[in-house]
Structure 1
Amino acid sequence: MKWTAQKREWLRELYPDKPNTFLAEFFGCSYSAIKNQAVKLGLKKSQTYLDNKPGCFAKGAEPWNKGKNWHSGGRSRETQFRTGHNPHNWHPVGYERLTRDGIWERKVADTKVKRQDWRPIHVLQWEADNGPVPKGHIVIFKDGDRENFDPDNLECISRSENMRRNSVHRLPKEVASLVQLVGALNRQINKRAQP
């Protein structure tokens, strides 16, 4: 809808004391078009209109479901999940998936707790050959290929060793200093970008 000068003038006159639903019908536009135009023009509802508490329950009014159980009205019982129902994205134990990080996982349980139900396949393979992964350790791929589950390609290392292997300090000095400069530059850009 195009807002002409005449329509804006009518809106200025009617807006303070009329509900937006009435105005939308009057002008033949949407409810949000009325709200947006009122904001642009800086219009507010009058105190008299607001004192009537439009859109609120009148004092002493009873809701339609007073004294009823939550399932006694409407379609709530009809639309509930049935016992034993599984959602559309449910998978059986043994199902394998690829995560965003490129790690293959296998569903090992159906407790509905994601951390307990899914385990990385390479960790399962390592544990089958060597027992549980010690606390503070992780299983990595020696050749970097995340789809090579050969026991000779899997290695259990401490988290601190993993940090050392992936640290900037393992790079040549020139590259390491360049990476640190890029990080410092990004921090300064982020500081200035924040309000």
Structure 2
Amino acid sequence: MHRWTNEQKQYIREIAQGRYNSEIVDLFNYRFETEISESQIKNFKANNKIRSDVPRKRITGDEGLFTQEQKEFIQRNVDGRLNQELAELVNKEFNLQISTKQMKAWKHNRGLSSGLRGSEGQDPPNKGTKGLYNVGGNRTSFKKGQQALNYKPVGSERIDRDGYTLIKVSDEGLWNKRWRHKHKVIWEEKHGPIPKGHVILFADQNRRNISLDNLIMIKQSQLSVLNKKGLLHNDAELTKTGIIMADIYLKIGERKRRKK
């Protein structure tokens, strides 16, 4: 059973509206480097009374982690490739940063298989020709030690699907260790690690405004009240006032619980 962190719970609440469970699971696994299934997302939403309010029938195929074009590309190239090889091929073709875990989870949720024995772990017949359509290999094949064409140096920045700025902080480790939210990095450089149960809030709700003056650290409980009571505003000063009101609501709730 997956143990949901407060950050993960809040993230699902933020992205659930207007999205199908398959889209939510793609974005969630992309964000947290997990292998959560659609059924786990469905159960979490049901247990927490979270609604997406989407029509029963999809209108387009460009939902979720991949566009329709990218999905069709994966389906055409899945046979005979390890998850890592398939992820590298997709990254090269579309200039993405998909990890092996994300590819594995995406395939699993859609019943896709490479046809390899075991858990996609056997060497395919075209091993050594990463990024190629032909199995014979040629001078454009990746060689051991060769840097990937989509390599981004430390310090590079990109915008994720939720509008947050990501900055590459390392060449080592999992994707979520190599790329971090820039606003968190900036905050921690000034104030130190973000304590458990806390989040960094954009005072004016502009995720591109990453100046220290626009970043406020609050408790997860405060953020929940801010969202529930509609106390977040594009005006930074109104948001700061909203935080004060959120504290008042929390204290009122605490007193009510004590009386009971």
TM range (shorter): 0.3 to 0.5
Higher relative contact order (CA 8 A, sep 6+): 2
TM, length-normalised to structure 2: 0.34
Larger CA Rg, structure 1 vs 2 = 1
TM, length-normalised to structure 1: 0.45
